[in-house]
Amino acid sequence: MSETSPKLRAEMEGIPTYKPGKPAAAGGPVAYKLSSNENPYPPLPGVLETVTAAACNFNRYPDMACSGLMNELSERFGVPLSHLATGTGSVGVAQQLIQATSGPGDEVIYAWRSFEAYPIITQISGATSVQVPLTSGDVHDLDAMADAITDRTRLIFVCNPNNPTGTVVRRAELERFLDRVPGDVLVVLDEAYREFIRDPEVPDGVGLYRDRPNVCVLRTFSKAYGLAGLRVGFAIAYEPVAAALRKTAVPFGVSQLAQEAAIASLRAEDELLGRVGSLVCERTRVVDGLRAQGWTVPETQANFVWLRLGERTVPFAEVCEQAGVVIRPFPGEGVRVTVGETEANDIFLKVAEGFRKEL
Ligand SMILES: *Cc1c(COP(=O)(O)O)cnc(C)c1O
């Protein structure tokens, strides 16, 4: 056998691996997965039927242009078709945005800690990550992010609400920030949790993009719409950006099942958003419960809560798991806990209470 191996790009060294939320342990008496910000509700019967029917044709390639879904989105958001692009989840679209804008020597700015896909997709393209620490309140430091812009900056992610802290940036500060960003730098508003926002001061990215050709809004069907397993997300942006997304898309990436499920979900929006409303009520109950126990919990507008536990992060995750809920630890920093089924949230609150007493 040859001593040499195929030459890979230098960037392949040291790419952080994406850590999927741990699955709930099989075989235990109860096991709930609160580690991936998934929607705990099972598929709506109508959506499931649509997908099942579409499955009869999976010997065929999907509609590569996602025409049905694009038309539906265009109408729903009041944006031209030329401003839309779909992808394999919004992570897929985010990766295409980096591919289209940034290569070796270019810089991508984002808050840290934020969504763990950002450093991975940045490094894959050979660009350099510029991580701007969150404020002491775990919020994006937009002034520091604007200060970090150089002539190498190509793209800036603003994750609103931020994963994993759940915190938001509001209209005035976001508009001030956008006014400071040069027009040739793309700002990506990652709004994966948009439907969970109840703070009226958090602007809708789709409103902000309209008179800003350097803003791109990312949305997904994975969270509020409960289609995480089907991989479909989309972007809204002006034509050069949206066109670049259509060019960089993996051909036939979004399956027909995903396309039909997304259309059916948009049509069943009332019911799905009703479920989101219930999860938001649960979120309030969880946050209030934690605060009553004495925890400091940042204001969350997403379907998860963040506890900054520092060195106690891993032990906390372990006791949660023993009690039947799997959460997402970021060792040395804190835990992100998805708002899930009522029973799961109850277990989590109980564990948090016991842990708090031991501190
Ligand atoms: C979950 C999540 C996404 C969505 O991922 P999909 O690829 O659409 O499943 C995007 N951005 C953030 C910040 C997320 O937390």
Q: How do residues 164-187 score in pLDDT, each as one tens digit?
A: 999 999 999 999 999 999 999 999
Ligand 1, residue 220: give the atom nearest the CA: 8
Sequence ranges of the domains in the chain: 19-43+268-358, 45-267
Q: Is the CB of 115 under 6 A from ligand 1?
A: yes
Assigned token pair, 36: 């991936």
Instruction: Point out the ligand 1 atom lying closest to the alpha carbon of residue 91.
Output: 7
* Residue from 38, 86, 91, 265 whose mutation best tests the ligand 1 pocket (most atoms within 8 A of CB): 91
What's residue 28's pLDDT?
62
Which token pair is 330? 């970021």
How far apart, in whole angstroms, are the C-alpha atoms of residue 219 and residue 189?
9
What's at 141, amino acid-wise?
Answer: D
Ligand 1, atom 4: closest residue by C-alpha: 90
The fold adopted by the segment(s) 45-267 is: Aspartate Aminotransferase; domain 2 (3.40.640)
Mutate to test the pocket of ligand 1, among 190, 195, 265, 328 (most ligand atoms within 8 A of CB): 190
For residue 301 and ligand 1, the question of a CB distance below 6 A is answered with no
* pLDDT given for residue 30 in this prediction: 64
Any idea which residue has 């946050």 for tokens?
287
Rounded distance, CA 335 to CA 138, Å? 13
**Atom number in ligand 1 closest to CA 232:** 8
C-alpha 316/C-alpha 177 separation (Å) is 37
Which residues 6+ apart lie within 8 Å of 279 measured at CB? 39, 40, 196, 303, 339
CA distance 235 to 76: 13
pLDDT at 26: 65
- Closest among 290, 299, 349 to 324, alpha carbons compared: 349
Q: Decide: 159 in ligand 1 pocket, CB within 6 A.
A: yes
Which atom of ligand 1 is the closest one to the Cα of 222?
Answer: 9
Render pLDDT for 272-288 as a digit per residue (tens, 0 to 9): 999 999 999 999 999 99
Q: Is the CB of 34 under 6 A from ligand 1?
A: no
Buried-state track 147-170, b at ≥16 Cβ within 10 A, e below 16 = ebbeeebbbbbbbbbbbbbbbbbe
CA dihedral 155, 159, 164, 165 (to 10 degrees): 120
Residue found under tokens 């397993």: 229
How many Å lie between the centroid of ligand 1 and the Cα of residue 219?
A: 8
Is 220 close to ligand 1, i.e. is its CB under 6 Å away? yes
Q: Topology of domain 19-43+268-358, per CATH?
A: Aspartate Aminotransferase, domain 1 (3.90.1150)
Q: Assess contact for 102 and 132: CB atoms under 8 A.
A: no
Ligand 1 pocket check for 165: Cβ under 6 Å = no
Q: Which residues contact 190 (CB under 8 A, 6 or more apart)?
A: 90, 94, 115, 157, 158, 159, 160, 218
- For ligand 1, the distance from its centroid to the CA atom of residue 89, given in whole angstroms, is 7
What is the best residue among 18, 38, 112, 163 to mutate for testing ligand 1's pocket, by most ligand atoms within 8 Å of CB?
163
Per-residue model confidence as pLDDT tens digits over 59-71:
999 999 999 999 9
Distance 158 CA to ligand 1 centre (A): 13
The ligand 1 atom nearest the CA atom of 37: 1
| Residue having the nearest C-alpha atom to atom 14 of ligand 1 | 192
Residue 199, amino acid: D
User: Is the CB of 158 within 6 Å of ligand 1?
Assistant: no
Query: What would the 3-class secondary structure string for the chain be?
Result: CCCCCCCCCHHHCCCCCCCCCCCCCCCCCCCEECCCCCCCCCCCHHHHHHHHHHHCCCCCCCCCCCHHHHHHHHHHHCCCHHHEEEECHHHHHHHHHHHHHCCCCCEEEEEECCCCHHHHHHHHCCCEEEEEECCCCCCCCHHHHHHCCCCCEEEEEEECCCCCCCCCCCHHHHHHHHHHCCCCCEEEEECCCHHHCCCCCCCCHHHHHCCCCCEEEEEECCCCCCCHHHCCEEEECCHHHHHHHHHHCCCCCCCHHHHHHHHHHHHCHHHHHHHHHHHHHHHHHHHHHHHHCCCCCCCCCCCEEEEECHHHHHHHHHHHHHHCEECEEECCCEEEEECCCHHHHHHHHHHHHHHHHHC
Give the model's pLDDT for residue 192.
98
Q: Is 91 in the pocket of ligand 1 (CB under 6 A)?
A: yes
pLDDT for residue 207: 98
Quick check: CB of 160 below 6 Å from ligand 1? no
Segments of the chain scoring below 50 in pLDDT: none
C-beta of 191 in contact with ligand 1 (< 6 A): no
